[in-house]
Copies of this chain bind each other. A is one copy, B any other.
Amino acid sequence: MRTAPETDLAAPEPAPEPAPDLETAEGLLARYDEVRGYTELLAAPLSPEDQTVQSMPDVSPTKWHRAHVTWFFETFLLAEHESGFAPFQDQYWFLFNSYYEAVGPRYSRPLRGVISRPGAHDVGLYRRNVDDRLRDLVARSDDGTLAKLRPLMELGFHHEQQHQELLLMDIKHVLSLNPLQPVYAGRPAPGPAGGPGEPDPLGWVGFEGGLVEIGHRSEAFCFDNELPLHQQWLPPYRLADRLVTNGEWLAFIADGGYRRPELWLSDGWARVQAEGWEAPFYWRETDGVWHEHTLHGTVVLDPAAPVCHVSHYEADAYATWAGKRLPTEAEWEHAARIAEADAGPANLADLETFHPRPAGAPGSLRQLFGDCWEWTASAYLPYPGFRPAAGAIGEYNGKFMSNQMVLRGGCALTPPGHTRATYRNFFPPGARWPLTGVRLADGGAA
């Protein structure tokens, strides 16, 4: 059993240098073009009709995502700093506000799918207009202005990356409802030998805990919910060295996992019954063979690949069944800090698998950044001393700290550069359409 260093409390951490190019106007714009272009690249395989559909209230149409991230730059940068600012289109101000109450009234979320116009092409025109004006603004800015723009642009980059991930999760749901079983794109994630394989045995990595520091500690970008850095006391604990696999989940099902109330949280069991859950979200049994819907079509289930699209309720029930538990977010972060140096290349969106793949060779904590967002046992709550930013930007994170659970890591739909040990993702415990998975933990008693 590998052991963590006695404490990481005092460990002075060399502040990771901010990516150098963001210090200059040229660098900022290069990054801007990179991020903006990636959104369009992800949307490219989708027809105007694909980009229009909202398949359930949680899902947004692709063209809405493309417009909303543009609205973000228009609202928080151009409106504040462009001289003689006027919105590209008055009504877009209303249509593409996601949830910023301070910006003004906003269009009803569950109705995003009834707005056929602006169409996909018109959204492209909107994007180009804002791009042009933003490039112009940055190019004309003196250093003082640039210093004000920089953090907002950086927030805009990370915001757009979050929507890139959501765009993929959302279109996956849209296509899943179509009896024609359409394919988005990408290359299937192969099992070890290029086809379905068997899971390798689960290993465990131990950590001593103690009084540890939690939260973001460098000058690099982070969201406000990763702050402030603070101390927590952790009893010794262990984490599974890989994610739970489809094969293991089949054993859970075979053992009555979805029929035994004693395994479930009460709210979870109510959902199992009300919605008839019998397997993960995108699984379908056809002629006795389990398949799952992916962005590259419906494929035969690979027992070696991580189970995905399970809710927190399912993750918790599985852990109970396995005699284990889910990790807390502090345990996960502490372990990830220690293990991240050994982590291999992550399965993120740039690999274009768009799906979790079987764990590689044992050694350390595998599948840590990528494959599946990992449910934790922690409710999404503010860190001690948390203060949201002033103004509308302050609505970014804090107001969602209720009825949600934290997820850590990243997934196969996460854009590269958008993962870190301190990143706090969150979803309601019943959510199944995000690309989520399960890592087990044990220990932790006083």
Contact = CB atoms under 8 A, between A and B. Distances in A.
A25 to B, nearest CB: 33
Nearest to A392: B262
A361 interface: no
A362 interface: no
Contacts of A211: 211, 233
A102 B263 CA distance: 11
A261 interface: yes
A235 B114 CA distance: 49
A119 B48 contact: yes
B231 A267 contact: no
B229 A231 contact: no
Nearest to A101: B261
Q: Which of A89, A228, A400, A402 has the most CB of B within 10 A?
A: A402
A174 interface: yes
A68 to B, nearest CB: 15
B55 A114 contact: yes
Contacts of A262: 101-102, 394-395
A286 interface: no
A445 B116 contact: no
Interface size class of A (residues with CB under 8 A): 35 or more
A115 interface: yes
Interface string A86-125: 0001010011000101100001000101111111100000
A385 B235 CA distance: 10
Contacts of A232: 232-233
Nearest to A176: B114
A117 B230 contact: no
A282 B384 CA distance: 33
A444 interface: yes
Tally of this chain's copies: 4
Contact of A107 (B179, B266, B377, B385): B179
Interface in A1-54: 47-54
A55 B113 CA distance: 8
A349 to B, nearest CB: 22
Most chain B CB within 10 A, of A102, A107, A116, A117, is at A116
Contact of A91 (B179, B233, B384): B179
Given A231-B233, A403-B403, A49 B395 contact: no
Contact of A174 (B55, B116, B313, B385): B116
Contacts of A313: 402
A322 interface: no
Nearest to A214: B446
A272 to B, nearest CB: 11
Given A114-B177, A177-B114, A265-B399, A385 B446 contact: yes
A177 B115 contact: yes
Contacts of A54: 114
Contacts of A120: 49
Contacts of A178: 114-117
A401 interface: yes
Contacts of A49: 48-49, 51-52, 63, 116-117, 119-120
A407 to B, nearest CB: 15
Interface in A377-420: 377-379, 381-382, 384-385, 394-395, 399-403
Given A177-B111, A384-B444, A444-B385, A268 B402 contact: yes
A437 interface: no
A267 to B, nearest CB: 5
Interface in A249-271: 261-262, 264-269
- What are the nearest 5 A-B pairs in CB distance? A385-B445, A379-B379, A101-B261, A230-B446, A48-B48
21 contacts: A47-B119, A49-B49, A49-B117, A50-B117, A50-B119, A53-B116, A91-B180, A102-B261, A111-B177, A113-B113, A114-B177, A114-B178, A211-B211, A230-B235, A262-B394, A265-B400, A266-B399, A377-B381, A384-B444, A385-B444, A385-B446
